[in-house]
Amino acid sequence: METNRVIRPSAIVPEHAARQLMAWVAVHDVTHGGVWAHDIGYFKRFSGPFNGAGGMRGSSVLLGTIHVTWDKYDVTIFRVSLTDEGVQAGMTVEGVCNELLLHAGLTLATCPRADLAPAPAPDPFKRPAYVES
């Protein structure tokens, strides 16, 4: 079972869909009875809402993390990680992404993908690195 995947090419959540996701996650946050937490660099899926003293995690466990970056208003998904508890709960990389993305009318498979620039050609005038023999 795959528990950590780098998404290549990275999946892009366009601005309008990203705004929909942020609004949805805010309502379904772990501190408001939901199972999602978010910050600048991630969306995290928990087993249940935070039920500990003072709004702490309590019995809720982390199941998976969708690692993201923000480019102006678009969100780029570049890696997804599942915990052992997430795998035991039957989660998959696609499943945790789709559970979130469906609220913006997307899936991991239907997200636009980042344009990958080709690697630059080597400089023919640059001296090769010294290699000991």
Looking at every residue in the chain, the average pLDDT score rounds to 90
The answer to whether residue 127 is domain-embedded is no
- Please give the structure tokens belonging to residue 66: 């969708």
The answer to whether residue 109 is domain-embedded is no
pTM of this structure: 0.84
Task: Write the Ramachandran bin of 72: left for phi over 0, alpha for psi from -120 to 50, otherwise beta.
Answer: left
Tell me the CATH number at 99.
3.30.310
pLDDT of residue 14: 95
Q: Which of 19-28, 32-41, 44-53, 113-122 has the lowest mean pLDDT?
A: 113-122
Per-residue DSSP letters for 49-76?
---SGGG--TT--EEEEEEEEEETTEEE
The answer to whether residue 65 is domain-embedded is yes
The answer to whether residue 24 is domain-embedded is yes
The percentage of residues in the chain with a pLDDT greater than 70, rounded to a whole number, is 94
The answer to whether residue 74 is domain-embedded is yes
The answer to whether residue 70 is domain-embedded is yes
Pair 104, 38: CB distance under 8 Å: no
Neighbours of 108 (CB within 10 A): 19
The answer to whether residue 58 is domain-embedded is yes
- In this model, does residue 57 exceed pLDDT 80? yes
Q: Determine the structural domain holding residue 51 and report its residue range.
A: 4-104
Q: What is the mean pLDDT of residues 104-108?
A: 96
Describe the strand order of the beta sheet including 4-13 as a list of residue ranges: 4-13, 74-82, 62-71, 42-46, 36-39
Q: What's the structural domain count of the chain? A: 1
Reported confidence tier of residue 132, pLDDT bands at 50, 70, 90:
low
pLDDT of residue 73: 83
Reported confidence tier of residue 133, pLDDT bands at 50, 70, 90:
low
